[in-house]
Structure 1
Amino acid sequence: MNILIVEDELPARDLLKAGLAEVWPQARLVGECASIAETLAFFQSQTSVDLAFFDIRLSDGLSFEIFRQFPVHIPVIFLSAYDQYLLEAFHTNSIDYLLKPLKTEQLRTALGKYEQLKSHFLLQLPQLLQHLQAPQAYKTRFLAEKGGDYFPIDIADIAYFFSEYKLCFIMTFSGTRYLVEKSLAALEAELDPAVFRRANRQVIVSNRAVKRISSVSKSKLLLELQPSPPFEVLVSQEGAAGFKVWVGG
């Protein structure tokens, strides 16, 4: 476990190192810095660090300035003789804030918190990686109802989905309407966003169904769909630009 200490007072630094040797003997000290400038130079060296201890008041300013000048991605335990910086500390990478003079039990508790956080995220990592690596599976077929019978409808045959009287329907390119037992919100989550897009609260359209786009009042869009629906399909001013980009691919 690689440790960085940022502390401009030698007695405080020695006290911390002694505490680490007692509480966490497996720790390996890879850097000691006494100023903002030294710390920035250390980070630019790209030395691997797992955990850092930062004194807040350094010889050339507050250590928060380091975070403003360099993307620090490691967890940090802050050390200070004052509690006035507590809130600002937790706006950075802080996992704990220890008041000086440092006590061994404080250090032990802070390191225990680090280990708990580390264990938690290591346990979650396989699931996270699996989620990130697994391609999104979109629906390729829907089971829809017409006249009391159910029919599998391939996604390539669907021109748009629409809601009417609190029911949701599929309209195929052949002009046949089917009832589907899902809400538009549920359907939207199952559809490939490269192919289907929510035009408004009432309609989700396939890009293949859009035959013409006309500008109307207040920069709204009027869509001409094929087959033609029995109502106007308008895209709001807020959604107009994104919709045109989507249709254009």
Structure 2
Amino acid sequence: MKTVIIEDEKAAVRNLSSLLNEVKPDAEIAAILDSIGSTIEWFGSHPMPDLIFMDIHLADGSAFEIFNHVSITCPIIFTTAYDEYALRAFKVNSIDYLLKPIGKEDIERALAKLGNLQHTAAPDSQPRHNPHQEEELLQLFHSLKKQENYKTHFLIPMKGDKLLPVSVDMILLFYIKDCQVKAVLTDGTEYNFTQTLDELTDCLNPHLFFRANRQYLVSREAIKDIDLWFNSRLSINVRYSGIKEKILVSKARVAEFKEWFSKKQ
């Protein structure tokens, strides 16, 4: 199987080449192209490969520009750090859409899809995604669109008709005190919030904040250490001296908390 890698990051090329060699040793990398221009030029003088791995943001622009100059008929696996192109991707022979960082299992799964498509396709036809794959990509797209809408900044009302801009990475935690939601910043200052803790939980990226219980929504940076507590619960100690009480994670959510804390951001 002849493959072409279209990617402008050298580290990503090394990673992808290594994974491809590990997963499918008989795959031949016919070319590594790092720009729109070099890709158009290469396809003008070489036969179509069996498969293309394509990043979307290249040094000289969007890789979708390539399709305005080259008729690519082979399957494409997009490998990108950007998530907003899923719908557009499967309109140009895409069989999968992998978000960086890419691992071995991602490549195995994508090549398995390719194998299934080749097995079911007619001998003289190019593999195409089936409705199930299209549904998978649609689900991915809607999930990623939701991520794009997560809050990244807040404007906090201040005395004197002023608003204080605060980014979410400046916030250690949110908690309820005397029926009022408060935010604690990394410098130890506290501010009142008008949103409820439920509303904040919905609008913040769950990779960044964890709802420990009804009273606390904490970031990783807020966590100083963790005690094993009674009845298989966890007690979170935070990097803020203003909170004296224990922040308990119930037994039912301990596994979820551990997975969240160790997950890549």
State the TM-score, normalized to the length of structure 1.
Answer: 0.49
State the TM-score, normalized to the length of structure 2.
Answer: 0.46
Structure number with larger C-alpha Rg: 1
